[in-house]
Structure 1
Amino acid sequence: MQKLMLATHFESEFFLFDDACILDIDNFVKRLSSIKEKGVRPDLIGSIITHYASKWLPDLLDDDGKKTIPNAEESPESVTTSWMKKRFFVETLVGILPPEKESIPCNFLLRLLRIASMVRVEPAYRDELEKRVSWQLDQASLSELMIPSFSHTCTTLLDVELVLRLVRRFMNLDEAVRSGAALIKVTKLVDCYLAEAAVDSNLTSSEFVALASEVPSHARAMEDGLYRAIDTYLKAHPGVSKKERNRLCKLIDSRKLSLEASIHAAQNERLPVRTVVQVLFSEQNKLNKQILDFSGPFSGMLSPNIALDASARCLSKREINVQQMEIKRLKEDVLRLQSHCMALEGKIDKLMEKKKGFLVWRKFGIPTLRGNRNEDVEREAEVGIGLKTPLQMKTRLVNTKNANKWRKSLS
């Protein structure tokens, strides 16, 4: 209790003098060192740093905070001078951050990383910020993670390479740190980030696949978020090749799609036919499993050893009606998806037959324009070009016979 009162005393003492030392960061560092020597908790040290940094650098405030825009007449300075001050300030802040992981909020570190990328701090300070963000990446928000790309060599609007490095650092942490709940949060964050970055026309499929594959597949209980991101990418990149399209769709596990996502995927013309068939097959398996689960209680009631099963019970009439309606609805959905898939396959077969027929006509040199078929047969007989296929031989005999009858009738 006495230690807590001492920490509160030093924190209030600092805030009384923060206006005086806000223009002198060296004085701030000295006063902060004296406060650390008194044994103040790391989270209080972190709150002091965030308060001081937000007041000196308004860019570090969140959207809810009030950003103070300095008056150009009161502080006239060039852009280069302003950037040099920000770089020195960020590097100094990174050097005095407490070593404890939870001492500084993740969103504040992301805003600090955004400014560090903009003013191009030294790689060592940038690496330290990325390491601290990866420690608590599961607490990051999507808006703070969407850091623009300030590099001239990067073609994308967002710094996708930065996010990829953060996710890789997080995946390399100890198993205790990236527990199940934290891993699921990071996976959802990655899927939402991909859906936002997919609209960028300069984002390559390799970058998309690299970031989507960085998190393990078992961390996605449902694949709807990843499917939404892939569909957004295909919509924004209509010229993507068939190979890249198949590579992107291989990321989706059709067994983990919801019914709404499966219906959308079955009617999505941007997806390859193989992916649509896999979605339909997965829905069929789900339906068969539900039918088996539904028939299980009835088979148990008919069993002679039902008295030995303590967990067996008779379903009420209302529960049976609800399950029957659900099964009926699922059957209708699967039939609708199957009919749509069969229609797509029929269109593909017609296109292939049309293309094959065109090649056969070109191969045998048979004219495709309208004309007198009898004259063509007679011309072929005179030249000596025989028809090769049985169907063409039959046509030749029939046409020749009709021609002879026509000549006899005239005579």
Structure 2
Amino acid sequence: MATRQLIESPSRKLKSALSSEVQIYVGGVPFTLDRELLAAKSAKLAVLLKEHPREDLSHFLKDASTDPETFELVARFCHGYEINLSTENVIHVACLAHYLGMTDSHSTNNLLSKAVDFFEHQIIPSWSKSIRALKAAEKILQQAVDLGLVGACVESVITKALEHPQLLGEPMKNLTCNDDGEDSETAIRPNVRRKLFAIDWKSEDLTMLSLRLYEPIISAMIQRNVPAEYVSAAVCQYAKKWVLSGMKEGDDGPIYKTNIQREIIEAVERMLPNKRGLQPCSLLFDMLRSAIALDASTDCRNGFEVRIGKELDQATVKDLLIPSQGYSKEEQYDTECVRRILKNFYRNYTGRDGHKLVIVAELIDNFLIEIASDRDLKMGTFISIAELSIAVSEGIQKSSDGIYRAIDIYFDTHRYLTESEREEICNLLDCNKMSPEACEHAAQNERLPLRVVVQVLFVVQLQMRETMPKEVQGSDNRLLLLKDVEEEEAATRASNNEEEARAEIEKMGSKVLELERECLMMRREIQNGSCRKVKHGKGNMWKEMKRKFGCITSINDCNCHAKKKKVHPR
């Protein structure tokens, strides 16, 4: 770098008229300064100038980790100018002031005490400023650690996260896989108090820090029991920013970038809590793909596989389609990885019912259907995955339609299979668990071995034998039901007839009452001595009574007491 004479620059001209000057290079930039003013503030320079007055100090700061901007602030302070401390420069200034011995014991109101005072009152109380100060200190991390500034920032961040974990971000808890069965209404929700920190929280977050700062902070939070769901959210966000967002399929990238990403994904696996349900299953699969692509350690990949195994009932077929890595790539998808994940699920499954087993068995069936069209898929691999699916679904009600469909696709894609190989694959098929539609298709499937077709036809015949008695019994039940209906209708008709008879009786009763009233009136007339009236109206009275009782129907019947002439046959 070409040497620049900055003494003439207005921004860096510091009492150039003085005779006792010294030139110091910082980062290739020369600074011309006053010896006595520097010695008055710096104990280290004072001792050096006293012991070696004429020593060349141009490379005095070659061992100090500093930059021209920071040294200019220190030089301005030594020459009596006001300086502006900020979140980004205070740790740098404090470290350089400590290196130069700019303490109050050497000179009152010296730079180190001013920088530390600013740090304690302006940086430590703020979440965002603490993170920004840590970010700025990464270039001189060891000096900042030795001075205790990094530890103070880290403690500030952890304390605030313990009090308000929402500062780490929203939980990514998957509500559908809650082991305790809690309702979505009682699941984790953002704390209302987060609004108090909205401005500060949105400004900066921990993901801006490098791994050498981020991992110790998260590890300390875990040890001090910051809620796992918030730690998980922060770690997942870190993985998205530094690994997942920069990963492109088929893009190897620079070696140094690959190495950094490998270190990050391995650290992410170490930091992720092991509790089920804290991360979406699809995100865990993305991390596993990145770990495989970056050639991460075996422990790292195994860790992701175990976590996925606990969440496998939340996965999709697309999640399971992990591309094979390496130059050979004998098969399109990494089926061995899927087999390990499935074993982890089966090993860690503690459910009381078989609901999740059914879900995973159907998932593996669909995965098998998806990969069956891969021409490079080996028969042994196909059989091993199918056997795992069958093992998972053992003891639960599940049809074999998925296995049959996968076998059919595999036979169609791999037409070179021999009859014995087809027989071996078809041993996986339980024809008794196939639906009638699948049996009908299999009975006409020319790709199946003849033995399997015969077995399917036999199963169909058995199903028909079981179905026919049920249909006959159903017909008998319908006849009995019809008979019951007819009896109910007959009873209803009888009830109606009974009501009609009762109405008729009531009608006749009313007629009898009417006749009784008329008879009573007649007795009263007789008792009053109306004999003449009775004599003249005798025939009429009895005629009327007979008419009431329905004894006569015509006027010719009125003389019913007269004798009728006998007619003798001739």
2:282 is equivalent to residue 282 of structure 1:
no
CA-to-aligned-CA distance 1:41-74 (integer Å, 9 cap, x gap): 322221222222212224489xxxxx9x9xx9xx
Partner of 1:7: 165
2:396 is equivalent to residue 255 of structure 1:
no
- Which has the bigger relative contact order, CA under 8 A and spacing at least 6? 1
Secondary structure, aligned partner of 2:359: helix
1:220 Cα deviation after fit = 5.9
Choose which of 325, 330, 334 in structure 2 pairs with 1:155. 330
Query: Following the alignment from structure 1 to structure 2, what is the Cα–Cα distance between the partners of residues 207 and 138?
Result: 22
Choose which of 252, 255, 259 in structure 2 pairs with 1:84. 259
Q: Which aligned runs of 4 or more in structure 1 are off by greater than 4 angstroms?
A: 12-15, 17-21, 297-302
Query: Following the alignment from structure 1 to structure 2, what is the Cα–Cα distance between the partners of residues 78 and 294?
Result: 69
1:241 Cα deviation after fit = 1.3
User: 1:5-84 counterparts in 2 under 5 A?
Assistant: 6-11=164-169, 16=202, 18=204, 21-33=207-219, 35-36=221-222, 39-59=225-245, 78-84=253-259
Partner of 1:225: 402
1:79 Cα deviation after fit = 2.9
Query: Following the alignment from structure 2 to structure 1, what is the Cα–Cα distance between the partners of residues 368 and 352?
Result: 21
Distance 1:146 1:81, change over 3 A: same
Secondary structure, aligned partner of 2:409: helix
Secondary structure, aligned partner of 1:270: coil
Query: Following the alignment from structure 1 to structure 2, what is the Cα–Cα distance between the partners of residues 209 and 221?
Result: 19
2:245 is equivalent to residue 245 of structure 1:
no
Secondary structure, aligned partner of 1:172: helix
Partner of 2:365: 191
Partner of 2:340: 165
2:396 is equivalent to residue 210 of structure 1:
no
Distance 1:78 1:280, change over 3 A: closer
Query: Following the alignment from structure 1 to structure 2, what is the Cα–Cα distance between the partners of residues 220 and 232?
Result: 24
Consecutive unaligned residues in structure 2, runs of 5 or more? 1-160, 170-193, 484-570
2:295 is equivalent to residue 134 of structure 1:
no
Query: Following the alignment from structure 2 to structure 1, what is the Cα–Cα distance between the partners of residues 262 and 352?
Result: 32
Choose which of 298, 303, 307 in structure 2 pairs with 1:123. 298
User: 1:98-117 counterparts in 2 under 5 A?
Assistant: 98-117=273-292
Query: Following the alignment from structure 2 to structure 1, what is the Cα–Cα distance between the partners of residues 467 and 163?
Result: 61
Partner of 1:389: none
Counterpart amino acid of 2:427?
K
Q: Percent identity?
A: 30
1:151 Cα deviation after fit = 3.1
1:166 Cα deviation after fit = 1.1
Secondary structure, aligned partner of 1:239: coil
Counterpart amino acid of 1:16?
K
CA-to-aligned-CA distance 1:291-323 (integer Å, 9 cap, x gap): 111222455689xxxxxxxxxx7379xxxxxxx
Counterpart amino acid of 2:228?
P
Query: Following the alignment from structure 1 to structure 2, what is the Cα–Cα distance between the partners of residues 152 and 6?
Result: 49
Distance 1:301 1:270, change over 3 A: closer
1:148 Cα deviation after fit = 0.5
1:128 Cα deviation after fit = 1.3
Superposition RMSD in Å: 3.2
Instruction: Give me the TM-score of the superposition, normalised by structure 1.
Output: 0.64
Secondary structure, aligned partner of 2:344: helix
CA-to-aligned-CA distance 1:111-148 (integer Å, 9 cap, x gap): 11111111111111111111111111111111111001
Is 1:297–1:314's contact at 8 Å kept on the other side of the alignment? no
Consecutive unaligned residues in structure 1, runs of 5 or more? 62-66, 303-312, 317-411
Counterpart amino acid of 2:452?
T
Is 1:60–1:108's contact at 8 Å kept on the other side of the alignment? no
Is 1:53–1:60's contact at 8 Å kept on the other side of the alignment? no
Query: Following the alignment from structure 2 to structure 1, what is the Cα–Cα distance between the partners of residues 311 and 455?
Result: 37
1:6 Cα deviation after fit = 2.9
Secondary structure, aligned partner of 2:481: coil
CA-to-aligned-CA distance 1:230-279 (integer Å, 9 cap, x gap): 11100110001111101111211112222222222112110011111111
1:188 Cα deviation after fit = 0.9
Is 2:274–2:307's contact at 8 Å kept on the other side of the alignment? no
Secondary structure, aligned partner of 1:269: coil
Which stretch shifts more, 107-116 or 282-291? 282-291
Instruction: Give me the TM-score of the superposition, normalised by structure 2.
Output: 0.47
Query: Following the alignment from structure 1 to structure 2, what is the Cα–Cα distance between the partners of residues 4 and 229?
Result: 52
Distance 1:177 1:41, change over 3 A: farther
Partner of 1:352: none
Partner of 2:481: 314
Distance 1:83 1:160, change over 3 A: same
Query: Following the alignment from structure 1 to structure 2, what is the Cα–Cα distance between the partners of residues 295 and 201?
Result: 50
